[in-house]
A and B are shown apart, each in its own frame.
Chain A
Amino acid sequence: MNPKPSAGQLAAEVDTPVVISAFEEKSPTFTSLAVSLSEIRKLKGVIGYILRSETSALIDLANSKEIVDYAMLSSRIVESSVEIAKQFNIGETESILAEGTNIKVLCMDIGNNKIAIFMEKNASHFWIIKRILL
Chain B
Amino acid sequence: MADDSHLALQAIIDEFKTLSPETTSSFIFKKNGGIISSDQDTSKEAIKNLTDAFNELSKKAQVIEGLESLTIQGVEGQINVTGMSSLYLATVSSRAADPKIVKSLTQVIVPTMVKLIDQTAPAAKEKELPQTVKPIEKKDSPKVGKQEKKSAPKPKAMSVGSEMFLPRPPVNQFMVDRISGFLVASDTVRIDSNVVMKWRELYGDNEIGWVNVETLEGKTVVCRFKPIKDQRSNGKGIVQIPEKIMLRLQTGKGKLVIVKPVVEDAKEKKA
Q: What residues make up the interface of A, taking CB atoms closer than 8 Å to B?
A: 66, 69-70, 72-73, 76-77, 80-81, 83-85, 87-105, 118
Question: Is the Cβ of A104 less than 8 Å from the Cβ of B77?
Answer: no
Please measure, in the bound complex, the distance between the C-alpha atom of A66 and the C-alpha atom of B54, giving whole angstroms: 22
Q: Can you show 15 pairs from A to B with CB atoms below 8 A apart?
A: A81-B72, A83-B53, A84-B49, A84-B72, A84-B79, A87-B46, A90-B79, A90-B92, A92-B74, A93-B72, A96-B72, A99-B69, A101-B68, A103-B64, A105-B64
Question: Is the Cβ of B70 less than 8 Å from the Cβ of A97?
Answer: yes
Interface of A is mostly: mixed
Does B166 touch A at the CB level, under 8 Å? Answer: no
Apart from A87-B49, A92-B74, what are 14 other A-B pairs with CB-CB below 8 Å?
A73-B63, A76-B60, A77-B70, A81-B70, A84-B53, A84-B72, A85-B72, A87-B46, A88-B24, A90-B77, A96-B70, A97-B71, A99-B67, A102-B64
Chain A residue contacts of B92, Cβ below 8 A: 88, 90
Question: Is the Cβ of A88 less than 8 Å from the Cβ of B70?
Answer: no
Chain B residue contacts of A96, Cβ below 8 A: 70-73
Report which of B56, B66, B77 forms a contact with A91, defined as CB distance below 8 A.
B77
Please measure, in the bound complex, the distance between the C-alpha atom of A3 and the C-alpha atom of B66, giving whole angstroms: 43
Chain A residue contacts of B71, Cβ below 8 A: 96-98
The minimal Cβ–Cβ distance linking A45 to chain B, given in whole angstroms, is 14
Interface of B is mostly: mixed
Most buried by B among A66, A95, A96, A100: A100
Please measure, in the bound complex, the distance between the C-alpha atom of A69 and the C-alpha atom of B65, giving whole angstroms: 12
The minimal Cβ–Cβ distance linking B253 to chain A, given in whole angstroms, is 17
Chain B interface size, under 10 / 10 to 19 / 20 to 34 / 35 or more: 20 to 34
Chain B residue contacts of A95, Cβ below 8 A: 72-73
Chain A residue contacts of B78, Cβ below 8 A: 90
Please measure, in the bound complex, the distance between the C-alpha atom of A83 and the C-alpha atom of B75, giving whole angstroms: 15
Report which of A88, A92, A100 forms a contact with B61, defined as CB distance below 8 A.
A100
Chain A residue contacts of B69, Cβ below 8 A: 97-99
Question: Is the Cβ of B56 less than 8 Å from the Cβ of A80?
Answer: yes
**B94: nearest residue on chain A (CB-CB)?**
A90
Question: Is the Cβ of A66 less than 8 Å from the Cβ of B63?
Answer: yes
Question: Is the Cβ of A70 less than 8 Å from the Cβ of B63?
Answer: yes
Question: Is the Cβ of A92 less than 8 Å from the Cβ of B75?
Answer: yes
The minimal Cβ–Cβ distance linking B62 to chain A, given in whole angstroms, is 8
- CB contacts under 8 Å to A, within B97-111, are none
A-B pairs with lowest CB-CB distance, top 8: A100-B64, A90-B74, A91-B75, A90-B77, A91-B76, A101-B65, A69-B63, A103-B64
Chain A residue contacts of B68, Cβ below 8 A: 99-101
- CB contacts under 8 Å to A, within B32-58, are 46, 49-50, 53-54, 56-57
Please measure, in the bound complex, the distance between the C-alpha atom of A70 and the C-alpha atom of B64, giving whole angstroms: 8
Does B240 touch A at the CB level, under 8 Å? Answer: no
The minimal Cβ–Cβ distance linking B271 to chain A, given in whole angstroms, is 43
Does B251 touch A at the CB level, under 8 Å? Answer: no
